[in-house]
Amino acid sequence: MTLFDKEFPDSLVERCKRITHEKTATKAVKEALELLFRNNETLTGMRQKLAAAEEANRRLIAAIEAQKSAEKQIAEALKFAKDPAKFSLEPEYRPLKRF
């Protein structure tokens, strides 16, 4: 008696046979497990790449927002600098306070 004869569910053996196209239960389960582990390793690698890409996207979005903010500040500074009233040569009249 083997593990497949005693405790391994027939439905899982049949699924393994369908996936691997093997006729014997032992080979089908072995190949299905190998396929499962390969796919799991691939998925883990893809998740790590996805996390790295998401972090890069977050940094890029933050940089774009910082650039837009800087451009807005530059535009406001240029607008201020072009206003002749801000740089008049005549001082504002302020009466002197007496002590």
pLDDT digits (tens, 9 = 90+) for 60-91: 999 999 999 999 999 998 888 887 777 666 66
**Better-predicted residue by pLDDT, 79 or 41:** 41
Residue type, 8: F
Lowest-confidence region among 2-11, 24-33, 34-43: 2-11
pLDDT for res 81: 82
Question: Mean pLDDT for the chain?
Answer: 87
Residues near 63 by beta carbon (within 8 Å), at least 6 away in sequence: none
The verdict on residue 58 lying in a domain is yes
The verdict on residue 90 lying in a domain is no
Q: What is the count of structural domains for the chain? A: 1
The verdict on residue 91 lying in a domain is no
> Is the CB of residue 35 less than 8 Å from the CB of residue 20?
yes
pLDDT for res 25: 85
The verdict on residue 93 lying in a domain is no
> Is the CB of residue 52 less than 8 Å from the CB of residue 61?
no
**């940089």: which residue's tokens?**
63
Rounded to an integer, what is the distance from CA 7 to the centroid of its chain? 43
CA distance from start to end of the chain: 112
- Domain with 41, as residue range(s), is 3-85
